[in-house]
Amino acid sequence: MSLDVYQRLLALSQGRAVPAASRAHRHLSPRPWLLTGYHLAGEPSAPVAIRYGSFRDSPKLLTVAEPRDRALRFAALGGLARDLATYLSRYTVTEPVVRATGNGRELDVDQCCVDAPQLVVPNEATAHWVGLLGQYLRTLDDPVLAAAGAHLGWIASRRHLPGSSVLLTATDLLTTHWRTGQLPTEDGHLGRLLAWIEPPAGSDAWQAARDAEAMPPAGPASDPSWDQVVLRPALERAKEQGDVRRLKLAAAEVLDGAWRDTWAAIDLVRMLPPGEHVAKRWESDRWSWTRHRERVLAGTVSFSARLSDVPAYRFLHELETRTAALERQMALDDPLVMARYLATGEAVAGVVIKRDPEHTVVNSGGRSVLRPLLWVRTPAAFDRPAGTELWWGKVGMVVRGSTDDTVELMVTSGAVTRPKLGLLPDADAEVVLAPFGPLQYFPDNLPDELPWPTRSSRPQAAPEPEQDDDLDTDLAALAPQTVASSPDPGDTAGAGRVPGHRAAPDGAVAPTEPRGAR
Other residues' Cβ atoms within 10 Å of the Cβ of residue 368: 9
Cβ proximity to another protein, 43 vs 320, nearer residue:
43
CA separation for the pair 77, 116 (Å, rounded): 23
Q: Are 410 and 397 in contact (CB under 8 A)?
A: yes
Residue list 49-88, contact with another protein (CB under 8 A)? none
Cβ proximity to another protein, 2 vs 417, nearer residue:
2
CB of 454 to another protein, least distance (A): 21
CA separation for the pair 33, 486 (Å, rounded): 37
- Tell me which of 92, 101, 228, 323 binds another protein, using CB under 8 A: 228
Phi and psi for 58 in degrees, rounded to 5?
A: -130, 65
Residue list 325-354, contact with another protein (CB under 8 A)? 332, 335-336, 338-340, 342-343, 345, 349-350
CB of 192 to another protein, least distance (A): 11
Residue list 100-129, contact with another protein (CB under 8 A)? none
Residue list 30-49, contact with another protein (CB under 8 A)? 40-45
Residue list 260-319, contact with another protein (CB under 8 A)? 305-306
- Tell me which of 430, 440, 455, 476 binds another protein, using CB under 8 A: 430
Cβ proximity to another protein, 298 vs 484, nearer residue:
484
Residue list 362-421, contact with another protein (CB under 8 A)? 379-380, 391-395
- Tell me which of 252, 319, 421, 429 binds another protein, using CB under 8 A: 429
Question: Considering the rule CB under 8 A, would residue 8 count as an interface residue with another protein?
Answer: yes
> Any residues with CB less than 8 A from the CB of 451 and at least 6 apart, and which?
none
Question: Considering the rule CB under 8 A, would residue 439 count as an interface residue with another protein?
Answer: no
> Any residues with CB less than 8 A from the CB of 99 and at least 6 apart, and which?
107, 108, 109, 110, 514, 517
CB of 32 to another protein, least distance (A): 27
> Any residues with CB less than 8 A from the CB of 191 and at least 6 apart, and which?
209, 212, 213, 215, 218, 257, 261
Question: Considering the rule CB under 8 A, would residue 504 count as an interface residue with another protein?
Answer: no
Chain CA centroid to CA 394, Å: 29
- Tell me which of 74, 206, 263, 313 binds another protein, using CB under 8 A: 206
Cβ proximity to another protein, 449 vs 466, nearer residue:
466
Chain CA centroid to CA 358, Å: 47
CB of 511 to another protein, least distance (A): 25
3-state percent helix, strand, coil for the chain, nearest multiple of 5: 45, 20, 35
Q: How many residues bind another protein (CB under 8 A)?
A: 77
Question: Considering the rule CB under 8 A, would residue 13 count as an interface residue with another protein?
Answer: yes
Cβ proximity to another protein, 100 vs 476, nearer residue:
476
Residue list 461-500, contact with another protein (CB under 8 A)? 467, 469-473, 478, 488, 490-491
Judged by phi (left if over 0) then psi (alpha if -120 to 50, else beta), residue 18 lies in beta
CA separation for the pair 4, 337 (Å, rounded): 10
Angle, vertex CA 279, rays to CA 274 and CA 282, nearest 5: 120
Cβ proximity to another protein, 264 vs 332, nearer residue:
332
CB-count exposure of residue 515 (10 Å: 0-12, 13-18, 19+): middle
